[in-house]
């Protein structure tokens, strides 16, 4: 199967048909670059975020989490450099009024759509503005955060002191960010409202290069462990010109999307830039007191910054497969940890007590926090196909033999192997499979 731009159309329509992702406000004609996650999509994205949180926070002793407010003091964005520096070069067409990023025009002097005259290049700040309180004047302007990172930096000492942390340690956060992108697109890849999964790892200056290497490898292998093939991932180092104003080194984890190799996550050595700037702008020092050396220091920061929506899209693209004997039949080969539904319970026929037995197993799954499905309609083959398309790794079937000896079949999605187990062991069996699927998230 060729995963090209036509393939992207297939993905978008599958996402709508099966309830992974819908266009936002669709009945009003949609809102450009905004997307809503449906019942399968929300489970998948929650699992992506949970996989990140487990491997970055829950399963580690050196990283803690926070959940900071989206709206922050406007001075934060002065200190971080976003107010002046977070801009894209913009030109407008004087005839058709279309807007373009000047750096995407390859030195074109006229509008690529209608040939009209273009305006001078101007800097366009990507931060969304709003007003806090009832008065809409300059003093009440606040910004929707364009990255979650700053909520971590301004809380650095609060977290360090409250949790009695010693260097090196990290602070992680998952949350929404907003950027008024000039050219959003490629489905959920570049949107104006998106979710980030960021971690700031604070270390002694001089050890930063070593930690930068560590996080590059750690983050690349996270995607591989969750099912993305090595050949579809690469690390791309930024050139000196590409480096952000705060970065000493930076690389991107890139995925081979149907629209080409594109950034999934950035890993940057942000030095002591942010802690020093916030100390300067707030007048409150964010220096760390080193108990052993009895001195204050500004730690260096390594930042793996991932996007929950981009990662989710990459896992969808990667999971897509078709049956080699029946190309109409789609199989979403999600890693079991990521799969939206873990197990479907299916009575073979609607009689002889099979639906009642299957429903009991289904409810036992739910009572044990296993996201399960129950499907009684149409032939069993069609029901397996529906679950394959949703990416469900296991199907449990209640059949004639169940009524005689209380065993059920467990069908595995990828191998299609079927085994028989006691119906009483069904919940335990799936729970064990789920535990095994989470092992890859340990260090
Ligand atoms: N704190 C550093 C930072 O925000 P970034 O490379 O601008 O770095 C990190 O963003 C990640 O956030 C990106 O790798 C991407 O996954 C996600 N991201 C950024 N802008 C996005 C957008 N407009 N739409 C969807 N995801 C985005």
What pLDDT shows up at residue 106?
80
Q: Ligand 1 centroid to 307 CA: how many Å? A: 6
Q: Is 146 near ligand 1, meaning CB less than 6 Å away?
A: no
CA dist 265 and 77 (Å) reads 22
Query: Where residue 443 falls among pLDDT bands split at 50, 70, 90?
Result: confident
How far the first Cα of the chain sits from its last, in Å, is: 34
Q: What is residue 99's predicted lDDT score, i.e. its pLDDT?
A: 87
Burial degree of 219 (CB within 10 A; 0-12, 13-18, 19+): buried
Ligand 1 near 364 CB (within 6 A):
no
Ligand 1 pocket test, pick from 144, 147, 148, 175 with the greatest ligand atom count within 8 Å of Cβ, gives 147
* Among protein residues, the one whose CA lies closest to atom 15 of ligand 1: 307
Q: Judge if the beta carbon of residue 399 lies within 6 A of ligand 1.
A: no
Closest ligand 1 atom to Cα of 265: 14
- The CA 196 to ligand 1 mean position distance, Å, reads 7
CA of 298 to the centre of ligand 1 (A): 26
pLDDT for the residue 245:
81
- 266 ligand 1 Cβ < 6 A: yes
179 lines ligand 1 (CB under 6 A): yes
Q: From CA 3, how far away is CA 236, in angstroms rounded?
A: 21
Task: Identify whether the C-beta of residue 359 lies closer than 8 Å to the C-beta of residue 398.
Answer: no
Could you list the beta-strand ranges (E) of 157-277.
Answer: 169-178, 193-203, 233-237, 249-257, 260-271
CB 186 less than 6 A from any atom of ligand 1? no
pLDDT at 74 over 80: yes
3 state SS of 421:
strand
Full-model pTM = 0.96
Nearest-atom index, ligand 1, CA of 195: 26
What's the whole-number mean pLDDT along residues 245-266?
Answer: 95
281-286 LR contacts (CB < 8 Å, sep 24+): 281/75, 281/78, 281/79, 282/75, 282/79, 282/154, 286/153, 286/156, 286/157
CB 421 within 8 A of CB 401: no
For residue 178, report the distance from its CA to the centre of ligand 1, in Å.
Answer: 10
Q: Is 310 in the pocket of ligand 1 (CB under 6 A)?
A: yes
Q: Measured over all CA atoms, what is the biggest interatomic distance in the chain, rounded to whole angstroms?
A: 80
Answer yes or no: is the C-beta of 55 below 6 A from any ligand 1 atom.
no
**Which atom of ligand 1 approaches the CA of 305 most closely?**
9
pLDDT value at 5 more than 80: no
Residues whose CB falls within 8 Å of the CB of residue 158, separated by 6 or more in sequence, listed in order: none
Q: Return the residue matching tokens 């897509």.
A: 320
- Which of 192, 253, 273, 307 has most ligand 1 atoms within 8 Å of its beta carbon, as the pocket-test mutant? 307
Locate 21 and state its tokens: 């992702």
Q: Whose Cα sits closest to atom 9 in ligand 1?
A: 305
Nearest residue (by CA) to ligand 1, atom 14, is 265
- Answer yes or no: is the C-beta of 20 below 6 A from any ligand 1 atom: no
Strand partners, 13: none
Q: What is the pLDDT of residue 9?
A: 95
**Is pLDDT of 18 > 90?**
yes
Residue 194 Cβ contacting ligand 1 at under 6 Å: yes
d(CA 410, CA 395): 6
135 has a pLDDT exceeding 90: no
Question: If DSSP codes are grouped into helix, strand and coil, which group holds residue 305?
Answer: strand
How many CA atoms lie less than 13 Å away from 206 in the CB half-sphere? 3
Q: Is the CB of 307 under 6 A from ligand 1?
A: yes
Give the nearest ligand 1 atom to 189 CA. 25
Give the pLDDT of residue 260: 95
Confidence tier at 168 by pLDDT (50, 70, 90): very high
Going by CA atoms, what residue is nearest to atom 22 of ligand 1? 190
- Tell me the pLDDT band of 370, cut-offs 50, 70 and 90: very high
pLDDT, averaged across the chain: 96
Task: Name the residue among 181, 172, 100, 170 with its Cα closest to residue 144.
Answer: 181
Of all protein residues, whose CA lies closest to atom 2 belonging to ligand 1? 305
Which atom of ligand 1 is closest in space to residue 188's alpha carbon?
25
Q: How large is the angle between the packed helices 426-438 and 354-367, nearest 10 degrees?
A: 40
**Percent of the chain residues topping a pLDDT of 70:** 100
User: Could you tell me if the CB of 181 is within 6 A of ligand 1?
Assistant: yes
Q: Write down the pLDDT at residue 103.
A: 85
Residues 352, 221: Cα–Cα separation, whole Å: 49
Contact of 407 with 420, CB cutoff 8 Å: yes
> Ligand 1 pocket: which of 310, 312, 313 to mutate (most atoms <8 Å of CB)?
310
pLDDT at 299 over 80: yes
Instruction: Give 55-111 as a DSSP string.
Output: IIIIT-SSEEE----SB--HHHHHHHTHHHH-EEEEEEBTTT--EEEGGGSTT--B-
């Amino acid at each position: 199967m060729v995963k090209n731009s036509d393939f992207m159309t297939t993905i978008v329509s599958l996402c709508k048909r099966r309830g992974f992702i819908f266009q936002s406000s669709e009945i009003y004609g949609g809102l450009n670059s905004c997307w809503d996650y449906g019942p399968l999509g929300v489970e998948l994205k929650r699992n992506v975020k949970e996989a990140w949180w487990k491997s970055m926070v829950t399963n580690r002793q050196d990283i803690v989490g926070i959940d900071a407010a989206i709206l922050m003091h406007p001075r934060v964005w002065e200190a971080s450099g976003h107010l002046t520096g977070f801009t894209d070069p913009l030109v407008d067409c004087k005839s058709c009024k279309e807007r373009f990023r000047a750096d995407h025009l390859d030195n074109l002097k006229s509008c690529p759509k209608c040939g009209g005259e273009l305006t001078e290049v101007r800097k366009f700040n990507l931060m969304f503005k709003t007003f806090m309180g009832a008065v809409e004047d300059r003093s009440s302007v606040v910004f929707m955060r364009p990255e979650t990172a700053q909520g971590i930096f301004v809380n650095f000492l609060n977290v360090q002191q409250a949790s009695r942390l010693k260097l090196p340690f990290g602070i992680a956060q998952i949350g929404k960010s907003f950027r008024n992108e000039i050219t959003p697109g490629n489905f959920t890849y570049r949107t104006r409202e998106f979710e980030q999964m960021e971690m700031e790892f604070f270390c002694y200056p001089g050890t930063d290069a070593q930690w930068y290497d560590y996080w590059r490898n750690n983050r690349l292998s996270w995607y591989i462990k969750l099912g993305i093939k090595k050949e579809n991932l690469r690390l791309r180092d930024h050139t000196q010109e590409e480096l952000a104003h705060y970065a000493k080194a930076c690389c991107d984890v890139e995925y081979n999307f149907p629209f080409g190799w594109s950034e999934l996550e950035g890993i940057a050595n942000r030095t002591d830039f942010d802690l020093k700037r916030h100390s300067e702008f707030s007048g409150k020092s964010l220096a760390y007191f080193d108990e052993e050396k009895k001195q204050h220091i500004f730690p260096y920061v390594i930042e793996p910054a991932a996007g929950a929506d981009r990662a989710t899209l990459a896992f969808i693209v990667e999971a897509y497969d078709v049956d080699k004997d029946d190309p109409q039949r789609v199989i979403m080969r999600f890693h079991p940890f990521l799969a939206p539904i873990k197990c479907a319970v299916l009575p073979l026929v609607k009689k002889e007590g099979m639906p009642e037995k299957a429903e009991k197993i289904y409810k036992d799954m739910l009572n044990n926090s296993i996201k399960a499905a129950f499907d009684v309609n149409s032939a069993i083959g069609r029901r397996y196909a529906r679950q394959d398309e949703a990416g469900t790794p296991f199907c449990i079937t209640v059949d004639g033999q169940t009524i005689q000896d209380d065993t059920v079949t467990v069908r595995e999605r990828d191998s299609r192997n079927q085994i028989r187990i006691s119906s009483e062991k069904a919940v335990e069996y799936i729970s064990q499979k789920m535990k095994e699927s989470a092992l890859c998230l340990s260090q």
